[in-house]
Amino acid sequence: MSPRILLVDDEANIRKMVGALLESEGFETLEAPNGQAALERIAEDTPDAVLLDLMMPPGPDGLATLEQLKKRAPHVPVVMMSGKANLADAVRATKLGAFQFLEKPLTPEGVLVALRGALELGRTLAENRRLHAQLGHDDPLVGTSAAMDDLRAMIARVAPTESRVLITGESGTGKELVASAIHRQSARSGKPFVTVNSAAIPRDLVESEMFGHERGAFTGATERRQGRFELADGGTLLLDEVGDLGAEAQAKLLRVLETGVVERLGSEKPFTVNVRVLAATNKDLGRAVQERQFREDLWFRLNVLPIHIPPLRDRPDDIPPLVRHCASRCATRLGRAVRVDAGALQLLAAYRWPGNVRELANIVERLAILASSETITADEVTRVLPHGQDGGGRIAAAPAPRGDGAGAGPDVALADALDQHERELVAEAARRLSTDRANLYRRMRRLGIEPPRNAIET
């Protein structure tokens, strides 16, 4: 499908000439003679980008129209144009969210370069929103444990600030989800939230990916590209896996954090960006600093407000609500009910989840797809869960109840210790055995473990 450009100009000949240029380049054009008509057109049919004139008497001028456009269609990039603009107009247009400001008389190359850049921005932001929705980044933080309550309270405190946040935790604990929650609860909500995976960028392309490049800056640079800092201007940038950045990239990142000034590769015109930077890592950056693998000054810059996400095995109370939440999401995608019976839920709660929430979501999705009915059973969980016997992946019994916060000691009653040991054996048996289940269930009832009869709605 051809990109659609809305041309907004009170001069019919300008609309005709620019429209002919764009159509010859494969674009589809829509027209509006003034700001009011442009707003009405946007309400009917949202374009991919807008080319907007500054002076359009007697109705609302381009700046007033731009302000309304950004309220009604905030994700549509707008390129301003004028033959009578001054620096103040250009600055205000940029603050209102204009992608670029072109001076008349227009040149074909200038129009095409600006619109292609605007369309690239629109595609990038749309893909970013799609991926975040697909990964569940718009979901609420799920969990009922004290650790999750503390995490939500911490997010509520740091989100309204402009300070940098360093989010740490094992892989799969939901660091991007926490960063997204910080962005949504901040004054920058509604502005771009851009993520860059530092570990996934080839070392020789880090500067281009972060800060952008001009056409011809290096072999293969056939057109200008915006970097992640520029794409996140006005919003939030998450530097995921920041501990994997090389020494040269760390130095360049530090310079941008200190000055707020970005310069594209191949350009001699630095520009300022207004970006709140969040960072995430599964590494111990303090140790990396001691081992001279990470710059101490960069660590200090990033670690203004530290947030640590504990692993899922340390908050078992969160497993049942997470299972229900993931099952509900699967039901929406599959278009049918997805239920988890009590026995299945108990086995999932007993597993140690070395891959944390990411692994749990994947396992629940696999169970939902492969289940022989609408209800996921304990037998199906047994077949799907990994059978490794290492410390991270085995089935483990739920932690024993604590009366005073202390672990089980040598003075625990023998009967209680035997019951706890039997609970562990039965949990393992539920995974391994496929015969004589009636006897197994009787044993489970005696120990207070509910057999998988009643389904739990999700």
Please give the model's pTM, rounded to 2 decimal places. Answer: 0.59
Q: Where are the alpha helices (DSSP H) in 291-397?
A: 296-302, 319-334, 342-350, 356-370, 378-384
Indicate the helix (H) or strand (E) that contains 213.
Answer: strand 212-213
Distance CA(159)–CA(449), nearest Å, equals 42
Going by the DSSP 8-state scheme, the letter that residue 398 receives in this structure is P
The distance in angstroms from the start CA to the end CA of the chain is: 40
Q: How far is CA 47 from CA 2, 61, 296, in A?
A: 11, 20, 47
Q: What is the largest CA-CA distance in the chain?
A: 93
Quick check: 27 and 51 in contact, CB under 8 A? no
Single out the residue of 350, 337, 352 nearest to residue 392, CA to CA.
Answer: 352
The residues near 335 (Cβ < 8 Å, ≥ 6 apart) are none
| Sheet containing strand 305-308, strands side by side | 193-197, 236-240, 276-281, 165-168, 305-308
Tokens of 454: 């009643």
Quick check: 228 and 196 in contact, CB under 8 A? yes
- In DSSP notation, 265-317 reads BT-S--EE---EEEEEESS-HHHHHHTTSS-HHHHHHHTTEEEEPPPGGG-GG
Q: Is 67 exposed, middle or buried (0-12, 13-18, 19+ CB in 10 A)?
A: middle
**Which residue, chain included where needed, has tokens 């880090």?**
206
Q: How far is CA 375 from CA 93, 319, 344, 367, 369, in A?
A: 56, 18, 9, 10, 11
In tens digits, the chain (458 residues) has pLDDT values of: 689 999 999 999 999 999 999 999 999 999 999 999 998 888 788 899 999 999 887 778 889 999 888 878 888 899 999 887 678 888 888 888 889 889 888 999 999 999 999 998 888 877 766 665 555 445 578 999 999 999 999 999 999 999 999 999 999 999 999 999 999 999 998 889 999 988 888 777 888 888 888 888 887 777 778 889 989 999 999 999 999 998 888 998 999 999 999 988 888 888 999 999 999 999 999 999 999 999 999 999 999 999 999 999 999 999 999 999 999 989 988 999 999 999 999 999 999 999 999 999 999 999 999 998 999 999 999 999 986 433 344 444 334 344 344 433 333 344 454 455 555 555 566 555 554 545 666 656 655 565 554 433 33
The 10 Å Cβ neighbour count of residue 332 is 10
